Structure 1
Amino acid sequence: MLSPPDAAPDNPLLAGADWPTFGWSDDIRPALAKAVADGQAAALATLYKVEGSAPRGPGAQMLFVGNVATGYFSGDCIEGDVAGHARQVLADGVPQRLHYGMGSPWIDIRLRCGGALHVLVERLLPDSPAVHALLNEGAGRRPCIWRTDGVRQELGDGDLPLLSLQEEPFALARRYDPARRLVVTGGDPGALALARLAMDARFETVLIRPHGPHTPPPFPVSRYMREPIEQALDVTGLDRWTAYVGATHEDEHDLAGCLSALRGDTAYVAMIGAKSRAPARLAALQAAGASEAELARLHLSPGVSGLGKAPWEVATGILAEVMQALNPARERA
C-alpha cells in the first residue's frame, strides 16, 4: 500500500527521515561514487516533468543506496514513497515512472503545493560503463549528458538544457555540469567563515593560505593549500563553474590571484578590501595587463549590502553573490 505523506518521516526505507538532511545534497555523484566503490547498486530517481507549483524543477534528482537517500523533490511529501519504489527497482531492475499530485491515480498521496510531479526511477549497477563515464567526467570537471529510457543508459556530450524530455518513446537527457567550486584565499575570520559556509552549502571548497599553518583549518574543506596563490591556482585549475574570492588583504597575493582568476574563465572573481583601496588596485591590475573587459568582471568590496560587517554576515552576502553568478551555468535554458 502506498504511504500517505504524513507517514513519510517515519518510513524505515529512509534513514534519517526524522531530520532529512539528506535533502541538502543537490548532486548525486558523490553518493553514486561511494556506491560504486562499495560495489552496491543504486536507484536513481529523476524529476522529469512538473505541472503547476513545485519546490523543485525538472532535473532534480534523488539517489537511493540501501536505505540511504541523497537529494529531495518535495520536502517530505513523497520522498518516503519514492524510496519504496526505489527498493523495488533495485530488486528487479524494472524502471518505474511515478506520477504524484494532480491527475495521479494515487489519491492518498497529496502534494501540499497542489501541482504534479513525474519521476523516473532506474537502477544503476556498479559496473555500468555509463555510470563510470559519468563519474570520470565529473572528476575531470567536464560537462556531459546522461541519456536514458530507464533501461539503457549512455553518456555523451552536447550543450542542452538541464533536462530534455521525449514523451514517446520515453527518453530523457539530463545535463551534468562540474561541481560548483569556490576558491578562497586568506586566513582571517571572514575568509574562514566564507570557506565554512561554502562547505555547508555543498561547494567544492579550496582554501589557499600562502605559507599558512601546516595544520589544516579546524573545519573540513575540500582542499587546503599553502603554496603561492598563482601556483596553487595552476594546480587547482579554473573554469566557468568556479568562483574566486581573494581575502588575504595583501596585494602581493590578492592582485596576482585575481588576475589569474579573471583570465581563467571563472564565473565570479572578487577581492575583499576597503573601497578606498579600489582605485590603486584597479590601476595595479591595469599595469599588469588586465583588460577593461576583465576588470569589468571584478567585484571589489563584494557581497550583499545591508547584512552587516561581522564575518558571518559578510560571508553570507558574498556566498549569495557567488550562487547567483554560478546559477546560469547550471540552469541555462
Structure 2
Amino acid sequence: MTDADQPVAAGEIEGAAWPEFGWIDDVRGALADAFAQKRPAALATLFQVAGSAPRGPGAQMLFAPGPDGNLTASGYFSGDCIEGDVANHAAQVLADGVPRRLHYGMGSPWIDLRLRCGGALHVLVERITPDSAAATALLRAAAERRSCRWITDGLRQTLGDGNGPLLDLKQEPFQIARRHDPRRRLIVSGGDPGALAVARLGAMAQFETILLRPGGPDAAPPFPVSQYLREEPADALARLKVDRWTAYLGATHEDHHDLGGCLAALRGGAGYVGMIGARSRAPQRIAALQATGASAEELTRLQLSPGIPGLGKSPWEVATGIVAEIMQALNPDRERA
C-alpha cells in the first residue's frame, strides 16, 4: 500500500447519478480525447482480485479533468462500491503525479468502504500526460489494430508486444503488464430490420460497427455507427483489412453480395463469419463457396444459422442472439491461437 492516508469523500464524477460511463470497456478512446484537449489522465487498473468480484484483473477506468472541474470517467470496477473513492484518488494522482496502489474489501485498512460481493480489489492509479511516449504508442497501436502490452510500475511506462495473458502481475519489484487488443469490430451488410437491429445493438455494445449497404440510400442510417458504406462487401472488406477481432454478418439476402463478403471475411481470418438465410439454402451456398475456392477449414468457420436459438424471430430477438454469439467468439480472454 503506497497511499497510507484514509480515503476521503467520494470524488465528483460527471454523470455519476446515471453512470453510463460504466458501459465503456476500452478506455483508449477516452485517453485520446483527453490528449486532444491537452489534458492529463489518471489510468486505474484492477490488477488483483480475491474472492468474488464484478470485474476481473485487467479491468480499467480512466479519469480526466473536465472544463467544470469534475472528472469524466470511463469504465467501472464494482458497480458503485468504490468508483467514487477511486475517482478521489485519481484527482490526487493528477495533482501530484504520485501513483497509488489501493486495496478495497477483505484485508483493507478502510473498513468504511464495503464490497457487497465480499471480495477484495487491488487497483493501481497512475498519471499519464499528453507527452507520454508509451501512451502515444498505445494509441498508435489501437489505430493500426495491433495488440500490445502496457507495462508499468506506476511511474515508468513502456509498451511491449501483444503476447501473453490479459494481465501479468509481478509483486517484487511491482509491475503490471496489461494487454490491449484491437477494438472489437462488427461489419454488417444489409438494410432490412434484422440487419439494422444487429448493427444498432452492436454499436450500443461498444463494437466499432460498420454498416454496409451496397447501393443503399445516400442518407446515413438513423442511428450512430462508426462507418456507413455503400460499396460491395468483398471490396469493402479487402480495404478494411479484416482480422480476428472482426465479425462479419452477411444479411443482404442476396447471395452475390453475401457470399463474396463471407469469403473475404473467412480468408482475412475474421473471428466470426455468419450469413443469415433459410436453412434450406445452406447446401446451395456451401456449393457456391466451394466453387469459388473456399477450403474445408474456412467453411467450418462459417455460421449459416447465426445466433442463439429459441430467443424468438423478431428483429431484436434475432439480433440479441447474434450479437451474443459474436461476443462469445471475439472474447479477448479466450485461449489465444
TM range (shorter): over 0.9
TM-score (norm 1): 0.96
Identify the residue that residue 196 of structure 1 maps to in structure 2: 200
- 1:37-116 alignment runs, 5 A limit: 37-66=36-65, 67-116=71-120
Task: Give the alignment partner of residue 2 of structure 1, picking from 4, 7, 12.
Answer: 7
What is the count of residue pairs matched by the alignment?
Answer: 326
Superposed displacement of residue 12, structure 1 = 5.2
Q: Secondary structure at the match of 1:165?
A: strand
Q: Does 1:210 align with 2:214?
A: yes
Task: Give the alignment partner of residue 123 of structure 2, picking from 102, 114, 119.
Answer: 119
Identify the residue that residue 313 of structure 1 maps to in structure 2: 317
Contact 1:3 1:109 (C-alpha < 8 Å) held by counterparts: no
Superposed displacement of residue 127, structure 1 = 1.0
Spell out, residue by residue over 1:194-245, the C-alpha distance to the aligned partner (whole angstroms, 9 max, x if none): 0000000000001110111111100000000011111111121100000000
**Separation in structure 2 between the aligned mates of residue 263 and residue 332 of structure 1, nearest angstrom:** 21
Spell out, residue by residue over 1:39-64, the C-alpha distance to the aligned partner (whole angstroms, 9 max, x if none): 00000000000000000000000000
Contact 2:46 2:56 (C-alpha < 8 Å) held by counterparts: yes
Task: Give the alignment partner of residue 173 of structure 2, picking from 169, 175, 182.
Answer: 169
TM-score (norm 2): 0.95
Q: AA paired with 2:303?
A: H
Identify the residue that residue 232 of structure 1 maps to in structure 2: 236
Contact 1:3 1:80 (C-alpha < 8 Å) held by counterparts: no
Q: AA paired with 1:34?
A: D
Q: AA paired with 1:235?
A: R
Q: Does 1:253 align with 2:257?
A: yes
**Separation in structure 2 between the aligned mates of residue 330 and residue 322 of structure 1, nearest angstrom:** 14
Q: Secondary structure at the match of 2:330?
A: helix
Runs of 4+ in 1 over 4 A off after TM superposition: none
Superposed displacement of residue 158, structure 1 = 4.0
Q: AA paired with 2:17?
A: D
**Separation in structure 1 between the aligned mates of residue 178 and residue 334 of structure 2, nearest angstrom:** 11
Superposed displacement of residue 304, structure 1 = 0.5
Q: AA paired with 2:16?
A: A
Structure 2 residue runs of 5 or longer lacking an equivalent are 1-5, 66-70
Q: Secondary structure at the match of 1:239?
A: coil
Superposed displacement of residue 331, structure 1 = 4.5
Spell out, residue by residue over 1:122-162, the C-alpha distance to the aligned partner (whole angstroms, 9 max, x if none): 00001111110000000000000110000000112141100
Structure 1 pair 92–3 and aligned structure 2 pair: CA distance change class (3 A) = closer
Identify the residue that residue 148 of structure 1 maps to in structure 2: 152
Superposed displacement of residue 2, structure 1 = 2.9
Q: Secondary structure at the match of 1:261?
A: helix
**Separation in structure 2 between the aligned mates of residue 12 and residue 92 of structure 1, nearest angstrom:** 16
**Separation in structure 1 between the aligned mates of residue 307 and residue 92 of structure 2, nearest angstrom:** 47
Identify the residue that residue 21 of structure 1 maps to in structure 2: 20
**Separation in structure 2 between the aligned mates of residue 3 and residue 182 of structure 1, nearest angstrom:** 42
Superposed displacement of residue 99, structure 1 = 0.1
Superposed displacement of residue 3, structure 1 = 5.4
Q: Secondary structure at the match of 1:255?
A: helix
**Separation in structure 1 between the aligned mates of residue 256 and residue 121 of structure 2, nearest angstrom:** 53
Contact 2:151 2:176 (C-alpha < 8 Å) held by counterparts: yes
Identify the residue that residue 8 of structure 1 maps to in structure 2: none
Contact 1:14 1:69 (C-alpha < 8 Å) held by counterparts: yes
**Separation in structure 2 between the aligned mates of residue 197 and residue 161 of structure 1, nearest angstrom:** 28
Contact 1:263 1:294 (C-alpha < 8 Å) held by counterparts: yes
Task: Give the alignment partner of residue 142 of structure 2, picking from 138, 141, 160.
Answer: 138
Q: Secondary structure at the match of 1:77?
A: coil
Contact 1:162 1:331 (C-alpha < 8 Å) held by counterparts: no
Q: AA paired with 2:62?
A: L
Contact 2:8 2:88 (C-alpha < 8 Å) held by counterparts: no
Q: AA paired with 1:85?
A: H
Contact 2:11 2:85 (C-alpha < 8 Å) held by counterparts: no
Superposed displacement of residue 73, structure 1 = 0.2
Contact 2:162 2:181 (C-alpha < 8 Å) held by counterparts: no
